[in-house]
Amino acid sequence: MADPLHKPRWLDLTVNVQTLLMASLAAAGGAIVMWYSLVGRVAALEQHDADQDGRATRIEVAMQQQRSDVNQQLRDISGDVKDIRNYLMSNAAGTRPDTRRWAK
């Protein structure tokens, strides 16, 4: 009720309990939504970080396997070169009995 002795104020500072309760519930609801949104984003970032770690591990394992394969291929080539050198040395003109006399 308006008091006839007091003028209405430009800014009314009286408290409406229903408005205060609804504002409190809205603020709490907003905080809860923001909290779960934050938790979801952190979980997504952690999952992305775990995926990146797994990818980096797979890349490192693949690089180690590739190095091992290259080293094995180089050893195989080295053995082949030694076999070819031995074959060429054993079949040189000076070592074969049929061509030894004219190869000197």
Q: Is residue 104 situated within a structural domain?
A: no
Q: Is residue 59 situated within a structural domain?
A: yes
Q: Is residue 6 situated within a structural domain?
A: no
The 3 state secondary structure assigned to 45-71 is HHHHHHHHHHHHHHHHHHHHHHHHHHH
Q: Is residue 77 situated within a structural domain?
A: yes
Q: Is residue 26 situated within a structural domain?
A: no
Which domain range does residue 77 map to? 54-86
Q: Is the pTM of this model over 0.85?
A: no
| Number of domains into which the chain is organized | 1
pLDDT digits (tens, 9 = 90+) for 53-71: 999 999 999 999 999 999 9
Range among 58-67, 74-83, 87-96 with highest mean pLDDT value = 58-67
Mean pLDDT calculated for residue range 35-49 = 97
Q: Is residue 98 situated within a structural domain?
A: no
Q: Is residue 66 situated within a structural domain?
A: yes
Q: Is residue 103 situated within a structural domain?
A: no
Mean pLDDT value across the chain: 88
Sign of CA dihedral 54, 55, 58, 63: negative
